Structure 1
Amino acid sequence: MSPAENQHPPGTPGDLWSIGQLAERAGVTVKTVRFYSDRGLLPEATRSGGGHRRYGPDALDRLRLIRSLRTLDLPVPDVGRVLGEEGALEDVIAGQLKEVGSRLAALRWREAALQLLTDCTPQERAERLRLVGAVSTPPGTAALARFWRCWLPARLPSRVVAAVVDRAVPVPPDAPAPAQVLAFARLQDFVTSPCFVSGPRAGTDYGQPEVHSSGKGYRPAVLYEGLPEAFELAAPDVRAGRAPREGEALDCFVAVHAAALNRRDTPDFRRALHRMLAAEPRVDRYWQLAAEVVTPPAEPAQPTPGAADNWLRAALGSADSEPHYGRVHTPT
């Protein structure tokens, strides 16, 4: 480099460095410096008379920052955002944390699935391989949501459908045990069976409940908006393993059905409701598997809406089931 190309000795405030000098100070290759320069991440201060790139001392700090960001596996476009936008670093880091979490969850699911295939007999392995092979990693819940949109009655308000789906679809754990992987695989297999692909069909084990039929006097939106309160009231008894019994939870459950039918809660109505509900098709297998998905082995199962519904139906069928009029229940 001629004196005309660099008028200041290295280390003085007026330094202009060649691409090779900058690379040497930063401990990288010339190719690396050129790569970031060509992508606009490392602007040059000027060009020499011969057209060679020249960089000021501030380029060294910028290059070191770029290298630090790239060490965290940030893509080049994200590095550009951090360098060019105020406050972009927090957003980029949040996005990277989410991506890393997703990759870790996928690895944990793969590990648990492989363990599941290891800890079984040769006779079980083929079926388990079929089931887990159909599950993405990390698993998605789109098939479960589709199942509920098929199961629910037509013309139900979208806000009610969204609320039911949110409560009914279990969130797969980030670090599952092998048994939870198997339960999720079985659950996905259940909802994608021929009975549900085109929607539940009348006349099958999974036909639509009476409340879903049009022209029966039901107001399904009233029912599905009101049932969560009854399930929440029943949850402590279900969690504690108490026998089904009369009380506030049952009164709320019956009141919601009565409101959906424009009927009064009377002993005759309770007997009729019990007979009607006892004859309805059930999806108990779904709720059993959903509970297994979210419950680690050796821990007590958390009460699902299906478990609470079963408990309340059993309470309704008890011989001494009578309404308690100390509280008026209205669907939310």
Structure 2
Amino acid sequence: MPPAVLWSIGELAEHAGVTVKTVRFYSDRGLLPEAGRSSGGHRRYGPDALERLRLIRSLRTLDLPVPEVGRLLEQDGGLGDALEDAVARQLRELGSQLTALRWREAALRLLHECPPEERADRLTLIGGLTTPPDTTPLARFWRRALPLRMPARLTAAIVDAAVPQPPADPAPDQVLAFARLNALVSQGCSGPSHSATGKGGCPNELARTDHEYRPAVLYEGLGEAYDLASAELRAGRDPYDGGALDNFVAAHAASRSVRDTPDFRRRLRVMLDVTDDPVIARYWELAGVLTTPDEPTLGRAHAWLRAALAGQLAAAA
């Protein structure tokens, strides 16, 4: 039986078309086992090392980290699902990196195209963002804004609906809108009922703390009303007295254990005007820049319903 063919580190490097330094690098990290040593203590590799080295290089072209490559090579029965999982992770990471680059590009275009006198202020705004941008401050803003006496499930659903997702490929005006939104939520609210919450947050519509007010009932009902109003917005319909408005009023009435009457509707309009907060209004204005017409914000749905209520009261007067 002929003796096994053993190659020196240089011969293996030559067969693989790589440098000796590359072979030594992977060998030192345990990815390329040696078949033995020469009498002089030099490394020797068998022909199977060539295939393994080629596999290592193929995996590295996917930009997989060396430890990840090592774990894949240790899989029994071949790469299989482990490679699929590694590739999926790499795709997610690459997608995040591409999104970050697109945000950086849009931010640079924003600065390049704006008037010189606005550049310093915009640079400060953009400097407050991460890339890709983080929505955590926006979510924190709404968690402070919402009443305390609410189920965690309902609070989470409202926060998800209220926080716009940053577009993966933003236009410069969307970068500016998100930067302004990020700066806005760090300021808190300024409306007349701000101190009434006692939370250091900001009021969300009629977020009162009196004993007859049941916030969970209100927000459960508002969800359906906003869904109906959003459908009207997507259809391009002007505000009118219909099912969406009835659901909106019913939610407010039920949260206070009163009936939906013409008198309550008049009082509701006044209460909504009183609890207006310019920061909340600005939030929805900026959030609208980050969404498409087919995805109305809760703020747009709320404005549609308020206009429908005002129109219904005006027609009845």
Provide the TM-score with structure 1 as the length reference: 0.84
Shift in Å, 1:172: 0.4
Letter in 2 for 1:238: L
Matched, 1:164 2:154: no
| 5+ long unaligned stretches in structure 1 | 1-6, 9-13, 323-332
Partner of 2:70: 80
How far does the alpha carbon of each residue in 1:218-245 deviate from its partner, in whole angstroms, 9 at most, with x for none? Answer: 1111222221211111113223443211
Matched, 1:255 2:250: yes
Identify, as 1 or 2, the structure richer in helix.
2
Letter in 1 for 2:82: A
Q: Distance in 2 between the 1:212 and 1:194 partners?
A: 15
**Matching residue within 127, 134, 137 for 2:131:** 137
Counterpart secondary structure, 2:44: strand
How far does the alpha carbon of each residue in 1:29-86 deviate from its partner, in whole angstroms, 9 at most, with x for none? Answer: 2221121112111112233344332222111111001011112221101111221235
Q: Distance in 2 between the 1:252 and 1:194 partners?
A: 30
Q: Distance in 2 between the 1:155 and 1:17 partners?
A: 74
Counterpart secondary structure, 1:318: helix
Partner of 1:289: 286
Counterpart secondary structure, 1:230: helix
Q: Distance in 2 between the 1:308 and 1:226 partners?
A: 14
Q: Distance in 2 between the 1:188 and 1:43 partners?
A: 52
Partner of 2:58: 68
CA contact (8 A) 1:207 1:281 kept: no
How far does the alpha carbon of each residue in 1:106-138 deviate from its partner, in whole angstroms, 9 at most, with x for none? Answer: 111111111111112122212211111211111
Instruction: Give the fraction of aligned pairs with identical amino acids, expressed as a percent.
Output: 62
Counterpart secondary structure, 2:161: helix
| 5+ long unaligned stretches in structure 2 | none
Partner of 2:115: 121
Mean alpha-carbon deviation: is it higher for 140-149 or for 116-125? Answer: 116-125
CA contact (8 A) 1:116 1:179 kept: yes
Give the total of aligned pairs. Answer: 304
Matched, 1:22 2:15: no
CA contact (8 A) 1:112 1:181 kept: yes
Shift in Å, 1:315: 1.2
Counterpart secondary structure, 2:311: coil
Q: Distance in 1 between the 2:38 and 2:112 partners?
A: 66
CA contact (8 A) 1:150 1:200 kept: no
How far does the alpha carbon of each residue in 1:148-205 deviate from its partner, in whole angstroms, 9 at most, with x for none? Answer: 0111112322211111110010000111111111111111111112548xx95459xx
Q: Distance in 1 between the 2:131 and 2:205 partners?
A: 37
Shift in Å, 1:321: 8.3
Letter in 2 for 1:285: R
How far does the alpha carbon of each residue in 1:5-34 deviate from its partner, in whole angstroms, 9 at most, with x for none? Answer: xx64xxxxx322222221111111222112
Letter in 1 for 2:227: E
Q: Within 5 A, what are the aligned runs for 1:156-195?
A: 156-193=150-187, 195=189
**Matching residue within 304, 307, 316 for 2:309:** 316
Q: Distance in 2 between the 1:182 and 1:201 partners?
A: 30
1:122–1:103 distance in 2 versus 1, CA, 3 Å: same
Letter in 2 for 1:176: P
Q: Distance in 1 between the 2:234 and 2:121 partners?
A: 32
Q: Distance in 2 between the 1:267 and 1:195 partners?
A: 31
Shift in Å, 1:209: 5.0
Partner of 2:144: 150
Q: Distance in 1 between the 2:301 and 2:177 partners?
A: 20
Letter in 1 for 2:21: K
Partner of 1:46: 36
1:210–1:39 distance in 2 versus 1, CA, 3 Å: closer
**Matching residue within 225, 239, 261 for 1:244:** 239
1:81–1:55 distance in 2 versus 1, CA, 3 Å: same
**Matching residue within 31, 46, 49 for 1:56:** 46
Provide the TM-score with structure 2 as the length reference: 0.88
Letter in 1 for 2:309: L
Shift in Å, 1:105: 1.0
Shift in Å, 1:214: 2.0
Partner of 2:222: 227
Letter in 2 for 1:37: S
Letter in 2 for 1:255: A
Q: CA RMSD in A?
A: 2.4
Letter in 1 for 2:185: V
Letter in 2 for 1:189: A
Letter in 1 for 2:258: R
